């Protein structure tokens, strides 16, 4: 999210390009598999306009981590 920064004339790349690179890294990395990783993937996917269908596996994995008390 910090990569979205300002898009001034001195910016090295357009915010969309930076965000795209961040999302590509997030998708390619073998992360820890904890809920924060999955939540970030869904959040960044939604913010970038990624179709719900392409995020469904991660959403299902995230929901499977939910405890009976909702936590």
**Within a domain: residue 69?**
no
Give residue-wise pLDDT tens across range 2-34: 655 555 556 666 666 677 777 788 778 776 768
Dist CA 36 CA 64 (whole Å): 13
For the residues of 12-70, what is the DSSP string, one character each? SS-HHHHHHHHHHHHHHS----SHHHHHHHHHHHHHTT--HHHHHHHHHHHHHT--TT-
**Within a domain: residue 47?**
yes
**Within a domain: residue 70?**
no
| Count: domains in the chain | 1
Dist CA 52 CA 55 (whole Å): 5
More reliable by pLDDT, 24 or 63 = 63
The predicted structure's pLDDT at residue 11: 61
Residue 38 corresponds to which tokens in the numbers above?
């999955």
**Within a domain: residue 56?**
yes
Give residue-wise pLDDT tens across range 39-52: 888 888 888 788 99
- Domain range spanning residue 53? 2-64
Q: Is pLDDT above 60 for 35? A: yes
């Amino acid at each position: 999210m910090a990569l979205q920064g300002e898009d001034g004339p001195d910016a090295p790349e357009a915010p969309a390009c930076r965000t795209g690179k961040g999302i590509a890294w997030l998708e390619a990395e073998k992360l820890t598999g904890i809920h924060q990783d999955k939540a970030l993937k869904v959040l960044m996917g939604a913010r970038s306009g990624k179709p719900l269908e392409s995020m469904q596996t991660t959403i299902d994995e995230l929901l499977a981590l939910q405890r009976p008390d909702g936590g």
